Amino acid sequence: MATPSQFLKFVDDNADRFIKRLGEAVAIPSVSGDGKYRPEVFRMSAWLDGQLQSLGVTTKLVDLGKHVMDDQELPLPPAILGRIGDDPKKKTVLIYGHYDVQPAQKSDGWDTEPFTLVVDEKTGKLIGRGSTDDKGPILGWLNVLEAHKTLGLELPVNLRFCFEGMEENGSEGLDDLIKTEVTKGKESWFDGVDCVCISDNYWLNSRTPCLTYGLRGLVYFKLTISGPARDLHSGVFGRMVHEPMTDLITIMGKLVTPDGTILVPGVEDMVPSAQDDEIAIYEKLDYSVKDVEDAVGAPITLSQDKVSVIMGRMRLPSLSLHGIEGAFYGPGAKTVIPASVSGKFSIRIVPPQTPEAIEPLVKKYVEQEFAKLNSKNKLKIENLHDGRPWLADHRHWNYEAAIRATEAVYKRSPDLTREGGSIPVTLTFAESLGVNVLLLPMGRGDDGAHSTNEKIDRSNFIEGSKLLGTYLYEVGAIKA
């Protein structure tokens, strides 16, 4: 089933109006991580629900209950479930997206008001909070729906939607919703779903579209050393007592080497070496050491070899030391011996590693190293949160469809990538529904999703809308 040219033309002809609608969405500051914006997140859910309904989608707002944030009980924004099409002869595609955004204030360093979409005619950038993460992609789907409704075109697949309003704040309630929903059989909004498409990540660079088939998992540790009952003055007590900071820093200094090697015994050994066909994928990627240097703003890659650097992110575990809670952190000089300090570090994990396998290795090692110190202080190590890694079969028809759609719209093959971070809902969909999940990014690697001056390029928004529609046609063309 070829993508109808009227659809592609409609997207081009209505580009300015689509951008105006993106402006409406950006103007609602649906910040999920700050309690005072919670009403705006609800307003955003109502706006999105209205759009979906007006485009023929049957929807249901699912109340996810309440949660406590900053000592305040707040209602969780609803998940929006949607359905359009029920043709048993068609494939059914589940679309995920989120309508909440990261916090943003002009004083953070934005050049423009973050909740006003600014169209930079010269560069083609559409600048505003949520433009690329994740309102742009959600509105891409609205654009596809509107084109078909207005043109009277039949959709090539049945669509299901799951949009949430808490992604930037831990996706609270979503896992339970999905797991509960799948148990409902024929009553389930996810009944009959053949594949999932998530558009909530980015190209590796600013040039080449990509499809993402893997994500690292994570285990986040809090290592606490406590000694005195209260903070002490280093003049009075320095060299009289075991100082928690000394113990903590000594142990944290034994977790990872400056070249990135994880020193916790057993962690590195779990990961099999890359085979030739996998290495071939990395070699082909349109991503260079220079791209990494540009992205981080300094020539600090662990290696000058492209494949080594890429593998560090995509298929090796990493251990990062994030900081210390309880120690002196301000500017200036304070001569404190902190009473209790908690080192925060996390390990990004890759298949076949699991949190269940990694956690005991880390705990055992840290406890052994602490015992060597002969300190009278107390040690505590906790797993603050974790998530398993995810790896999809990139030879699945879902990926083949996305590859063909990319080639049709962008006239080039997409890169096949694994991401170093995690999008936990990916794994939940994959495991709960037992179907292939595809990450199909709309924006570019330099969009600054969680940063100041977040943008999506006009061409990514418009061509990306065509890509989403074309992908549906390619899925629709798959033989059952």
The footprint of its own copies on residues 429-458 (CB under 8 A) is: 450-451
Collect all residues with Cβ–Cβ distance below 8 Å to 387 and sequence separation of at least 6: 217, 218, 355, 422, 424, 427
User: Of 72, 234, 288, 368, which one interacts with its own copies (CB under 8 A)?
Assistant: 234
**Of 6 and 301, CB closest to its own copies:** 301
DSSP label at residue 76: P
Compute how many residues bind its own copies; rule: CB under 8 A: 83
What is the C-alpha to C-alpha distance for residues 125 and 66, in angstroms, rounded to an integer?
Answer: 37
**Of 235 and 434, CB closest to its own copies:** 235
212 touches its own copies (CB under 8 A): no
Tally of CA atoms within 13 A in the half-sphere of 416 that contains its CB: 20
175 counts as catalytic: no
66 touches its own copies (CB under 8 A): no
User: Of 375, 398, 406, 453, which one interacts with its own copies (CB under 8 A)?
Assistant: 375
256 touches its own copies (CB under 8 A): yes
70 touches its own copies (CB under 8 A): no
Stretch binding its own copies (CB under 8 A), from 49-57, 133-141, 301-309, 471-479: 301-309
Cβ 151 to its own copies, closest distance in Å?
39
Contact 169, 33 (CB under 8 A): yes
Cβ 217 to its own copies, closest distance in Å?
10
Contact 210, 451 (CB under 8 A): no
User: Of 270, 373, 430, 478, which one interacts with its own copies (CB under 8 A)?
Assistant: 373
Stretch binding its own copies (CB under 8 A), from 155-163, 176-184, 251-259, 401-409: 251-259
2 touches its own copies (CB under 8 A): no
298 touches its own copies (CB under 8 A): yes
208 touches its own copies (CB under 8 A): no
Residue 401 has φ and ψ, to the nearest 5°, of -65, -45
131 touches its own copies (CB under 8 A): no
What is the C-alpha to C-alpha distance for residues 162 and 97, in angstroms, rounded to an integer?
Answer: 7
Using alpha carbons, select from 432, 435, 436 the residue that is nearest to residue 179: 432
User: Of 5, 107, 183, 374, which one interacts with its own copies (CB under 8 A)?
Assistant: 374
68 touches its own copies (CB under 8 A): no
167 counts as catalytic: yes
Stretch binding its own copies (CB under 8 A), from 84-92, 188-196, 332-340, 393-401: 332-340
88 touches its own copies (CB under 8 A): no
- Annotated binding site, which residues? 98, 133, 168, 200, 233, 335, 348, 422, 450
Tokens at 310, concatenated: 């890429």
171 touches its own copies (CB under 8 A): no
Please enumerate, as own/partner, the contacts of 254-262 that have beta carbons within 8 Å and a separation of 24 or more: 254/369, 255/319, 255/321, 255/345, 256/319, 256/320, 256/321, 259/302, 260/302, 260/312, 260/316, 260/318, 260/319, 262/317, 262/318, 262/319, 262/347
Cβ 269 to its own copies, closest distance in Å?
16
Kind of pairing between the strands at 66-69 and 72-75: antiparallel
What is the C-alpha to C-alpha distance for residues 398 and 333, in angstroms, rounded to an integer?
Answer: 57
User: Of 91, 348, 394, 418, which one interacts with its own copies (CB under 8 A)?
Assistant: 348
Stretch binding its own copies (CB under 8 A), from 116-124, 146-154, 299-307, 469-477: 299-307
344 touches its own copies (CB under 8 A): yes
Residue with tokens 């076949």: 352
Q: Which of residues 20-59 bind its own copies (CB under 8 A)?
A: none
Tell me, residue by residue from 304 to 323, as one string, x for binding to its own copies by CB under 8 A and - for no binding: -----x--xx--xxxxxxxx
DSSP label at residue 154: P
Helix (H) / strand (E) containing 473 = helix 458-476
Selecting among 100, 247, 454, 463, the annotated active-site residue is: 100
Stretch binding its own copies (CB under 8 A), from 183-191, 417-425, 455-463, 471-479: 417-425
Cβ 92 to its own copies, closest distance in Å?
31
Selecting among 134, 146, 167, 463, the annotated active-site residue is: 167
Using alpha carbons, select from 396, 390, 474, 403 the residue that is nearest to residue 440: 403
417 touches its own copies (CB under 8 A): no
Tokens at 267, concatenated: 């962690």
Kindly report the number of other CB atoms within 10 A of residue 2's CB atom.
Answer: 9
Collect all residues with Cβ–Cβ distance below 8 Å to 267 and sequence separation of at least 6: 317, 319, 347, 353, 358, 361, 362
Buried b (16+ CB within 10 A) or exposed e, 154-183: ebbbbbbbbbbbbbbbebbbbeebbeebbe
Please enumerate, as own/partner, the contacts of 181-190 that have beta carbons within 8 Å and a separation of 24 or more: 181/81, 182/432, 182/433, 189/60, 189/81, 189/83, 189/160, 189/162, 190/94, 190/160, 190/162, 190/433
- Annotated binding site for Mn(2+), which residues? 98, 133, 168, 200, 450
Q: Which of residues 380-399 bind its own copies (CB under 8 A)?
A: 384-385
Cβ 242 to its own copies, closest distance in Å?
5
Collect all residues with Cβ–Cβ distance below 8 Å to 188 and sequence separation of at least 6: 181, 182
Stretch binding its own copies (CB under 8 A), from 41-49, 56-64, 254-262, 428-436: 254-262
- Annotated binding site for substrate, which residues? 200, 233, 335, 348, 422, 450
User: Of 11, 118, 147, 327, which one interacts with its own copies (CB under 8 A)?
Assistant: 327
- Name the residues annotated as catalytic: 100, 167
